[in-house]
Amino acid sequence: MESYSTSELNKVIRGSNRATYDTKTIHTIIDAGFIGHVSYVFEGTPICIPMAYGKIGDKIYLHGSLKNRMLSSILENEQMSMTIMHLDGLVLARSGFHHSVNYRSVTLFGKATKVEDDKLKTEALKCVIDQMIPNRWDSLRPMTEKELNATLVIEIAIETASAKVRADGAIDEKSDLELPVWAGVIPIKQVAKAPISDQLLEDTVQIPAHVKDYYVKNKN
Amino acid sequence: MESYSTSELNKVIRGSNRATYDTKTIHTIIDAGFIGHVSYVFEGTPICIPMAYGKIGDKIYLHGSLKNRMLSSILENEQMSMTIMHLDGLVLARSGFHHSVNYRSVTLFGKATKVEDDKLKTEALKCVIDQMIPNRWDSLRPMTEKELNATLVIEIAIETASAKVRADGAIDEKSDLELPVWAGVIPIKQVAKAPISDQLLEDTVQIPAHVKDYYVKNKN
């Protein structure tokens, strides 16, 4: 599938020149993060909550406590949605009207189902941890049965999605170009600082390759 | 008011030890950002959209096109909510179960109303721009009447809110402390890179103080 189908649900109306339904673009944006905002409705009020996610193929995995209100709600609802956004820059134009931001965002839609199978549950939790920091899972002790039983894992098969991407300079009115106003872009990036070892760490435990790799890749 | 009132709507159940309703904490978290996720419902599906915001006192301002589906929806609904989150670190524990993130987040609730008065509309747009980068607005040409008429401005009087803050190391099972697994925190920060001047900028226009200040304050 090269692109997601569009309907009234996911079709981008405002700023449609920045919209795409291209599958590869959408998955690249999802893969670039590990926290998205999941929406639900509580007694008539829509609310969204930031959640860590993992992805295997076209399926998104969320996890939480068995009693998590949001997760319970999306399991009950016919359809859920989730938004992932990366901020890439402040776009400072010569007029307030044309100020903007550079960003990559995806809103995906699907139905939430509970993962019951312990093997898939474990794989899903692995992909959530490795989405946060690649290759982490294999350095950890295995999950206990008690932990697995205390964890609710939700699978969302992506049914459709849309992305919006802005990666451009300031776009001003022609009549404003000669104004003595500075215009341009301030790039924004999410970076990692040097890892801080736990105070209770055994002296013999060194910072492992996957943590060093993450830091080196994300420090600038 | 020292803290927001709690009800079923905003009371944090999961991880309640990390929750606060303290007004000052909540406003500090809001002030530290300029993009939040606003939730709405489209034909039964809850969706959230990242939006720039400004704040004057206890009021949040959003803006968009007159035909913005999300803004129209929150104007119709009795109550809206918005979530603002700052990611501060990856918390890597000795077990997958205790992995977490450090963060500051706020979910605020209120009723959206349309701002009709041109003076307040202009003040609201100023505060949205200055929330993104302080002292920007005063360097710009004034809004035109045409621009003002093409812009929908929404005011949300914050009725209640909750914050969750995690700023801690890994919290592991005692029985895991002697495992040969590295644990600790990788701090995460959103930083600014050097400003890039617009290609069409007049030669005489230098990078102004408010842009330099923003860069210096946020580059590390």
What pLDDT is stored for residue B103 in this prediction?
Answer: 98
- Interchain CB contact of B7 with A (< 8 Å): no
What pLDDT is stored for residue A130 in this prediction?
Answer: 98
Strands (E) in chain B, as ranges, are: 19-20, 35-42, 45-52, 54-56, 59-65, 80-92, 100-114, 151-166, 184-192, 196-197
Residues 99-128 of B with CB under 8 A from A: 99, 101, 103, 105, 107, 109, 125-126
Tell me the CB-side half-sphere exposure of residue A203, using CA atoms within 13 A: 0
- At B3-49, the pLDDT tens digits run 888 888 888 877 788 889 999 999 999 999 999 999 999 988 999 99
- DSSP class of residue A44? T
Radius of gyration of chain A (CA): 21
Is A196–B185 a contact, with Cβ atoms under 8 angstroms apart?
yes
What pLDDT is stored for residue A6 in this prediction?
Answer: 87
Q: What is the mean pLDDT of residues B86-97?
A: 98
Distance to chain B for A208, nearest Cα, Å: 7
- DSSP class of residue A153? E
- DSSP class of residue A176? G
Chain A residue numbers with beta carbons less than 8 Å from the beta carbon of B176 are 141
Is B196–A169 a contact, with Cβ atoms under 8 angstroms apart?
yes
What pLDDT is stored for residue B2 in this prediction?
Answer: 86
Q: Would you kindly state where each structural domain of chain A is located, as residue ranges?
A: 16-87+100-166, 190-220
Fold of B16-88+99-169: Pnp Oxidase; Chain A (2.30.110)
Residue A172 CA to residue A97 CA, distance in Å, equals: 9
Residue B196 CA to residue B10 CA, distance in Å, equals: 41
- Interchain CB contact of A47 with B (< 8 Å): yes
pLDDT over threshold 90, residue B93: yes
Q: The complex's ipTM?
A: 0.95
Average pLDDT, chain B: 95
Tokens of A184: 């341009």
- Interchain CB contact of B133 with A (< 8 Å): yes
Neighbours of A17 (CB within 10 A): 7
Chain A residue numbers with beta carbons less than 8 Å from the beta carbon of B191 are 188-191
> Which residue, A127, A36, A61, is CA-closest to B96?
A127
Average pLDDT, chain A: 95
Tokens of A57: 């193929």
φ/ψ of B130, rounded to 5, equals: -75, -20
- At B133-172, the pLDDT tens digits run 999 999 999 999 999 999 999 999 999 999 999 999 999 9
- At A119-176, the pLDDT tens digits run 999 999 999 999 999 999 999 999 999 999 999 999 999 999 999 999 999 999 999 9
Contact A160, A73 (CB under 8 A): no
- Collect contacts of A174-179 with beta carbons under 8 A, ≥24 apart: A176/A93, A176/A94, A176/A95, A176/A98, A176/B141, A177/A94, A177/B200, A177/B202, A178/B202, A179/A94, A179/B141
Which of the four pLDDT bands, split at 50, 70 and 90, describes residue A9? Answer: confident
- Interchain CB contact of B145 with A (< 8 Å): no
Exposure b/e, A35-63, CB count within 10 A at least 16 = b:
bbbbbbbeeebbbbbbbbbbbeebbbbbb
Distance to chain B for A135, nearest Cα, Å: 12
A-interface mutation test, from B141, B162, B174, B189, most A Cβ less than 10 A away: B141
Is B80–A46 a contact, with Cβ atoms under 8 angstroms apart?
yes
- DSSP, collapsed to helix, strand or coil, labels residue B174 as helix
Which of the four pLDDT bands, split at 50, 70 and 90, describes residue B73? Answer: very high
What pLDDT is stored for residue A78 in this prediction?
Answer: 83
Which of the four pLDDT bands, split at 50, 70 and 90, describes residue B78? Answer: confident
Is B50–A78 a contact, with Cβ atoms under 8 angstroms apart?
no
Residue A35 CA to residue A48 CA, distance in Å, equals: 12
Tokens of B199: 């290609």
Tokens of A28: 């690249």
pLDDT over threshold 90, residue A11: no
Is B81–A46 a contact, with Cβ atoms under 8 angstroms apart?
yes
The shortest CB-CB distance from A190 to any of B49, B190, B195 is to B190
pLDDT over 90 percentage in chain A:
87
What pLDDT is stored for residue A46 in this prediction?
Answer: 95
- Interchain CB contact of A37 with B (< 8 Å): yes
What pLDDT is stored for residue B11 in this prediction?
Answer: 86
Is B40–A48 a contact, with Cβ atoms under 8 angstroms apart?
no
The shortest CB-CB distance from A197 to any of B13, B125, B184 is to B184
CATH 2.70.150.10 corresponds to the domain A16-87+100-166:
no
The shortest CB-CB distance from A198 to any of B105, B151, B170 is to B170
The shortest CB-CB distance from A83 to any of B37, B170, B182 is to B37
pLDDT over threshold 90, residue B70: yes
What pLDDT is stored for residue A15 in this prediction?
Answer: 77
What pLDDT is stored for residue A7 in this prediction?
Answer: 86
- Interchain CB contact of B78 with A (< 8 Å): yes
Question: How many helices (DSSP H) and strands (DSSP E) are in chain B?
Answer: 5, 10
- At A186-207, the pLDDT tens digits run 999 999 999 999 999 989 999 9
φ/ψ of B61, rounded to 5, equals: -120, 135
Please state the three-class secondary structure of A18-40 as a single string. HEECEHHHHHHHHHCCCEEEEEE
Is B214–A179 a contact, with Cβ atoms under 8 angstroms apart?
no
